[in-house]
Structure 1
Amino acid sequence: MDRLSGLDASFLYLETPAQLMHVCGLLVLDVSTMPGGYDFEGLRSQIDAHVREVPAFTRRLRRVPLGLDHPVWVRDRSFDIERHVHRLALPTPGGYRELTELAGHLAGLPLDRSRPLWEMWVVEGYADGKVVVLSKMHHATVDGVSGANLISHLCALSATDAPLAPVPEVARAREAGPAELLGRGVLSTAARPLHLARLVSPSASLVTRTVGRARAGTAMAAPLTAPRTSFNGTITGHRSIGLADMDLDDVRAVKSASGTTVNDVVLAVAGGALRSYLQERGELPTESLLATVPVSVRGSSRRSEGANKVSALFTRLGTDIEDPLERVRDLAVRNRHAKDHHNAISADSLQDWAEFAAPRTFGLAVRAYAGLRLAERHPVVHNLVISNVPGPPVPLFFVGARIEALYPLGPVFHGAGLNITVMSNAGELHVGVIACRESVPDVDDLVQRFPVALAELLEAVTAPAGGGPTGRDDA
């Protein structure tokens, strides 16, 4: 039995019927590599064999009496793989549009909290005989890094190799009864004022240092300073999904020619795609869009507990800059400041403060926020969430099937109904975009601009000198 960290539990409290807090992944599989050929029952049996003894796949939530503390994980003694791995088929012709429509529908369905918080949908009938697996895992049980680690229990370097991550040896802990959980909750509640006192002084010092950085022009972009767009309002439970691919060598070529980083290039490409999309719709703000970029602190966190070990930084995407080369260089400078500022903040700061998220009041506040449509009344916190996740540099095999593409999809929030995640995989970058369907009605129009924006940037860094940047719109 393990208590959820405050940050893990916060993703439970943030969830509403419209604001679902699971993360998804679309794996496009070449099943011709599977020993003995593809068979759904065989695939499900292999998944069952690989995950049955992995705690993260076989644990469920248990609430603490009276909601006095965060929930705990307990082993699901009635774990049944048939309740987690499901089978579907695409309607003919089974192409990209049919796949993204089905994936959007599945992404908009909540996970059953009475069972382990994950499921997989095996989708047959995709183009050229391929099979697609849509995985869903609740953010309370994974972040980007831990989610990749969990999938590695099902992946290998060849069709016949053992999984990359072996089954862990975990001692079976006894389960606490209601009285013990209640007692622990009372003690945890009583200790919160002491923990709060320990956080106040470092947080006050951080504010002072941030003000100093802002005056010196070296602070990261501030939240609540984003321009309003059509995807910055109250969201619904409907989801739309778009997928695209880019060549990682092209990204590296831009990085080398511009003296920037891969992450700088990815953000600049996103900025170019968003600029083009909004400009064509007549919605391009004069100010740059502001993105929240999740950052893993797994290597620097002092905490051993909890699945989520993340922080976040804010950065401008340069959507106010027309010239792609100037945009990536501007982003590189901003990102260096943002990283320096972020590194000056304790790696556990977000996790420490999340411990004070009260189960009842937090959930009620989120529902009131959505019901009153407050996201449309206050200044925009951020325009979107964008992540760049390093993936495997070599081809991987999912229970024997070669992974041809892996598209990650994160959650969307009230006030920021658009999420972009980019993952590298064996020399390619796969772009997954998920949005509230009403906020971004044609998400495919946006995602297909990513390869175009990369091509423009590649042309800009390889073009002969002398053309000169066109500059900012408001210059």
Structure 2
Amino acid sequence: MEQLSGLDAAFVHQDSARTPMHVTAALIYDATNSTLTLPLVERLVRTRLLSEALFQRKLHRVAMDFDTPYWVPAGDIEWSYHLKSNRIPVGGTWESFQEILQNEHSRRMNLQKPLWQLSLITGLNGIPDLPPECQVLILKAHHAAIDGISLARLLARLHGMETANQSGGQWQSSQPNQWDIWSRANLHSLNRQLKLAETMGKLLPGLMRARETRHNAPELPPPLRNRARFNDQVSARRSVGVLLISRADIEHIKRQVRRVTYNDITSAVIAGGLRKYLQKKGELPSGSLAAGMPISLRSSADEPSGSNRIATMSVGLGTELEDPVERLRRIHRYAVAGKKAISALGTGTIMDISDSIAPPVLAEGIRTLAWASRVAPVPVPFHTMISNVPGPEGDQQLDGAPLLACLGLGPVRDNMGLFHTISSTSSRFSISFNACRKLMTNADDYLTCLESALNDLLEAASTLR
């Protein structure tokens, strides 16, 4: 019998009609010479993905959520639920595609069924900088069942990229009986109290080490911790947008600025876009906003399951800086300091925290902190999320259809109403965002700010010698 980790279970308990906790990946293909069909996608799932744990299991929740849920065998696949198609109206524009993507991502998943869905979107035609005819394959998966690195591995396997640690074996687990469930629940309730005491004993020295790393970078002003526009209660409606960037532009910036990463550059575009957007709203703070950036805690010895093994580091965005190159270099230094702080805290301690608290209590604590920050000056850890989900490496195709771009959308929740995802293929980077419609009424306004921030960074980088 396999149970969810504390972190995975927290995603289940946070899931609601207002805050669905799934992630979405959208893959854009050139359909000029080869087109995808639902029967073909089903065949690819059967031959390449069906042995993956995501496709083999579903949730079994304990009565009254007294303990963490279990993974149980999914049984026969209900293809009519898991595999669907949609067509963009005639003259399919980029805006029409973004609306379909928005509707797909806003729709909550059925937690009674296996936690994945695939949709094939046709009719994406006549888009600038893309071939005349394109198709999109959208994969939705619940965050309890998969993290960014697992999703990247899954997409690589979909495209036939097999490596030793990707092949894996058939996922196997048994159906728990009620005696086992309740006896283990009582045992876990006791063990959590003991583990919490042990974890706190390791956490306090780790926090001191993490604090020491910040003292070693005195030139970095601490990011703001007061609320900003997107630290508020979210509604069920979403605003979604996607910015595609040529790899040549990103490479040009990297050559000119030097000693920065691809993630630094795309994060700087987001920081510049946020600065412009908040300036227009008259809400730009005098200090730096902070982004939460999930980082993987997986080691080479970890089993290639879908379970989340992540921590979230705080990275200042330098939104108070006007010069885009100075902002980029500042973000790089913030990111280096953030990684050192996570390392000092200890990856084992980070995972132990979520496993030391009953998941319903952890989820309710997150909701309570979100509520408290709205009614009192409670510090917030981040003002937005930025997740980097690598796309398949190299030139990839699906049954002859070349992969052009890889996009991603993450979940928003109370107190975190704006989520960015960075991804890439051999020819393009993408910055996708998912926001609460109440907090961002027009996605095009923010998309325009991101485009302007990219152009500013390109222009400023081009003047460097």
TM-score, normalised relative to structure 2: 0.89
Aligned counterpart, 2:85: 87
Secondary structure of 1:426 counterpart: coil
Corresponding position of 2:146: 142
Cα offsets for 1:80-103 (capped at 9, x unmatched): 222101122222322111111121
Deviates more, 1:107-116 or 1:263-272: 263-272
Q: In the alignment, which residue of structure 2 is the partner of 1:426?
A: 426
In the TM superposition, what whole-angstrom CA distance separates every residue of 1:371-415 from its partner, at most 9, and x where no partner exists? x57545433332100123333342222354322111111111211
CA distance in structure 2 between the aligned counterparts of 1:326 and 1:166, rounded to whole angstroms: 40
TM alignment of 1:193-212, pairs within 5 A: 193-212=193-212
| 1:356 shift after superposition | 2.9
Q: Report whether the alignment pairs 1:16 with 2:20.
A: no
TM-score under structure 1 length normalisation: 0.87
Q: Identify if the C-alpha distance between structure 1 residues 208 and 64 changes in structure 2 by more than 3 Å, giving closer, same or farther.
A: same
Relative distance call for 1:109 and 1:464 in structure 2 (3 A) is closer
Alignment correspondent of 1:44: 42
Q: Deviations over 1:103-157 (max 9, x none)?
A: 1122111111111111112222221432222211111011100011122332136
Distance 2:45 2:160 in 1: 13
**Structure 2 matches for 1:126-205, cutoff 5 A?**
126-127=124-125, 128-156=132-160, 168-170=168-170, 172-205=172-205
The answer on whether the counterparts of 2:295 and 2:312 sit within 8 Å (CA) in structure 1 is: yes
Offset of 1:230 from its aligned partner? 2.4
**1:452 aligns to 2:448 (yes or no):** no
Out of 41-50 and 95-104, give the one that drifted further.
Answer: 41-50
Aligned partner of residue 130 in structure 1, secondary structure: strand
The one-character-per-residue Cα deviations of 1:343-389 (angstroms, maximum 9, x if unpaired) are: 2121123321111342444455566667x575454333321001233
* 333-342 or 240-249, which deviates more: 333-342
Report what 1:299 is aligned to. Answer: 299
Q: Sort the Cα spacing of 1:167 and 1:257 in 2 relative to 1 into closer, same or farther, 3 A.
A: closer
Whole-Å separation in 2 of the counterparts to 1:354 and 1:244: 34
Go from structure 1 to structure 2 and tell me whether the alpha carbon gap of 1:442 and 1:171 turns closer, same or farther (over 3 Å shift).
closer
Q: Give CA-to-partner distance per residue, 1:279-298, whole Å, 9 cap, x none.
A: 12322221221110111111
Report the residue type matching 2:156 in the other structure: S
In the alignment, which residue of structure 2 is the partner of 1:101?
99
Corresponding residue for residue 442 of structure 1: 442
Distance verdict in 2 for CA 1:391–1:87, change over 3 Å: closer
User: Corresponding residue for 2:260?
Assistant: 261
Structure 1 match to 2:129: none
Provide the rounded CA distance (Å) in 2 between the counterparts of 1:193 and 1:219. Answer: 41
Do the aligned partners of 1:222 and 1:314 also contact (CA within 8 Å) in 2?
Answer: no
Q: Deviations over 1:36-74 (max 9, x none)?
A: x54333333433443333322121001234533211111
Q: Distance in 1 between matches of 2:75 and 2:412?
A: 32
Q: CA deviation at 1:307?
A: 1.1
Distance of 1:196 and 1:464 partners within structure 2: 52
Instruction: State how far apart, in whole Å, the 1-side matches of 2:441 and 2:121 are.
Output: 24
Greater Cα offset, 231-240 or 377-386: 377-386
2:29–2:404 Cα contact (<8 Å) kept: yes
Instruction: For residue 258 of structure 1, report the CA deviation from its aligned partner.
Output: 2.3
Partner-residue secondary structure (3-state), 2:16: coil
Q: Could you say which residue in structure 2 is the equivalent of 1:290? A: 290
Q: Give, in whole Å, the separation in 2 of the partners of 1:313 and 1:103.
A: 28
Q: Equivalent residue for 1:396?
A: 396
Mean Cα displacement is larger for which, 188-197 or 18-27?
188-197
Partner of 2:117: 119
Residue in structure 2 matched with residue 470 of structure 1 by the alignment: none
Number of residue-to-residue matches in the alignment: 457
Higher mean Cα deviation, 437-446 or 409-418? 437-446
Answer yes or no: is 1:325 the counterpart of 2:356: no
Contact 1:420 1:433 in 2 (8 A): yes
CA distance in 1, matches of 2:246, 2:178: 54
Give me the whole-angstrom Cα distance separating, in 1, the residues matched to 2:349 and 2:89.
48
Q: State, as a whole percentage, how many aligned pairs show the same letter.
A: 28
**Contact 1:218/1:337 (8 A) holds in 2:** no
Q: CA deviation at 1:33?
A: 4.6
Kindly indicate whether the alpha-carbon contact (under 8 Å) linking 1:219 and 1:341 is maintained by their aligned counterparts in 2: no
User: Secondary structure of 2:139's partner?
Assistant: strand
Letter of the structure 2 residue corresponding to residue 119 of structure 1: Q
Structure 2 distance, partners of 1:349, 1:97, is 44
Give yes or no for the alignment of 1:77 onto 2:78.
Answer: no
Structure 2 alignment gaps of length 5 or more? 126-131
Corresponding residue for residue 128 of structure 2: none
**2-side partners of 1:453 and 1:313: how far apart?**
24
CA contact (8 A) 2:230 2:383 kept: yes
CA separation in 1, counterparts of 2:335 and 2:214?
Answer: 14
Q: Structure 1 65/260 Cα, relative in aligned 2: closer, same or farther at 3 Å?
A: same
Unaligned runs of 5+ in 1: 466-475
Q: How does 1:274-285 map to 2 (within 5 A)?
A: 274-285=274-285
- 2:339 is matched with which residue? 339
Q: Structure 1 residues 361, 342: closer, same or farther in 2, change over 3 A? A: closer
Distance in 2 of aligned mates of 1:104 and 1:376: 30
Deviation at 1:215, TM superposition (A): 4.5
